[in-house]
A and B are shown apart, each in its own frame.
Chain A
């Protein structure tokens, strides 16, 4: 893993120049988004929905072309609560770059409207985002071996054919291979997830041996 701690000061100019980027940015429905209120937030309040949107936009300003092609993704935005920041409102935007398999965490100072810190690393896997969860399910459904099984299980449990991944109850967790893993060794660096799949009757498919390699767009079956 490359360990880098780079102080950056991107200009805010251009942050709103691209239309259509909002679809890439977590909005007010995010669980951590504070209720929209007229008054300014207190220093210890969660990020407001507006702050989440703004931080995501600022942090991803130089990534838009990669995001629109799916080669990078803004995963989520967390409030930065570093003691050293004092009472400044700051946000950490987690961006995953699939081209290089690097995690980029950009810290945005919301008052200044700019990125003030960036950390990048390979082999660092933050929890999967909702978007990655859906992408993993779509890969599973497209898999010749497992796709049909999932559809058949869904039909049996719900009495209706599966239309899309949205019909499934999904939950993804980061997968990290154990030492010597012959099947999923690439997941030391690749973005890999395990997927839990809930069917319409509330039961869960046993997907514990299945790993979705989002970087390689492959389904792996663990050996154990």
Chain B
């Protein structure tokens, strides 16, 4: 994988191919002070020049069976490593995306679950389900991993159709369409009565969809009608409603840890005919809440696509119940947190390392200046049981989307 180009090598690359010509030579100054300016040359060009700039250690740092390297039917390639950690369970590292004919782009240094917080509606009990989740991984059977490959019993690597990549009619009744494919990496964990399916889908369009499915059995906790729903015959047993507040930790490293910046986008003008883009750059550790048209991105202005736009990954579609807990669970009171990288900050709550904050709200409390941002996403699901949840309980899913924004200069599908 090739990391940043110095400006001179970028110019050389452009000159060697003529593909980008003078436009590459007039590249914008990189926005990050002190960072090497860089331009990603047009797809497929100047490979030799860029190979000379390859950064050491930029290949996925693992070997078989922990290395996943999959080229999807449209040519998109995903490379990553997996590890089953005792506390966090399935953890993915060194995630790299290569669009068809393009250059590899490092996306995530690591990502894993950071908590599954399960408070019940009557106020008790309240669980922090991340324990030694890695010890609770379920050995997968062949049928649990359809069309895929099981790694060390516990991890499934497979592909799955994701519907229309695009469809377009030429106006004469002739249409062109493409079906998309996801690479899916998942593991299943038995935590009490719940079976949690933990998966990441890596699309052939460059998108990443982390999600978790809860299945298995209902808890069987019964409560009064105000806090539950009648299950079984009649209205005598009310299964207690509860939330699953799932947190993910995402250490984005776009082509290395240097130069990553987190931005928030809003569109002002509610109640008027106009919508004006409002960009907020997060310079310091912070927290943020969802908004209907709000999204965030992690951008590295030192890494550009062929259109000279900075490469970024957008976080959106946080379809969350937005659970807000009591004061002693302040970590639930935001939907997205940005912290500066600290190895000891691993979980959103009940963090297990001495000398480190105990929960997300404490991590951001000192408002430290961001140099290597880590993004934490909180997606809640409020589960009000229904008769259909009778054993085995159907899977209910929650998650979010990470989509490429200006990683390629055109539709990568």
Contacts and interface: CB of A to CB of B under 8 A. Distances in A.
Contacts of A34: 66
B69 to A, nearest CB: 13
Q: In the complex, which range does the number of interface residues on chain A fall in?
A: 35 or more
A83 B341 contact: yes
A78 B354 contact: no
Contact of B124 (A83, A94, A224): A224
Interface in A79-99: 79-84, 86-87, 94
Contacts of B219: 204
Interface in A113-157: 119-121, 124-130
Contacts of B372: 83
Q: In the complex, which range does the number of interface residues on chain B fall in?
A: 35 or more
B57 A87 contact: yes
A103 B352 contact: yes
B125 A208 contact: yes
B193 interface: yes
B147 interface: no
Interface in B122-178: 123-137, 152, 154
Given A81-B110, A87-B61, A128-B132, A4 B221 contact: no
B129 A173 contact: yes
B122 to A, nearest CB: 8
A194 interface: yes
B382 interface: no
Given A83-B257, A224-B123, A204 B354 contact: no
Contact of B354 (A43, A84, A103): A103
Contacts of A194: 125, 127
B222 to A, nearest CB: 9
Nearest to A120: B354
A206 B193 CA distance: 11
Nearest to A103: B354
Interface stretch (B2-10, B29-37, B79-87, B202-210): B79-87
3 closest Cβ pairs, A-B complex? A121-B354, A44-B61, A126-B352
Interface of B: 57, 60-63, 65-66, 81, 83-87, 93-94, 109-110, 123-137, 152, 154, 190-193, 217, 219-221, 257, 328, 341, 343-344, 350-356, 358, 372
22 contacts: A31-B135, A32-B84, A32-B85, A34-B66, A35-B152, A43-B62, A44-B60, A45-B83, A81-B343, A83-B109, A83-B341, A84-B343, A86-B57, A94-B352, A103-B354, A119-B344, A121-B355, A125-B352, A127-B352, A204-B219, A206-B220, A208-B221
Given A81-B110, A83-B372, 7 more contacts: A32-B85, A32-B86, A44-B62, A81-B343, A119-B344, A125-B352, A196-B193
Interface of A: 1-5, 30-32, 34-35, 39, 41-46, 76-84, 86-87, 94, 103-105, 119-121, 124-130, 171-174, 176, 178-179, 194, 196, 203-204, 206, 208-209, 222, 224
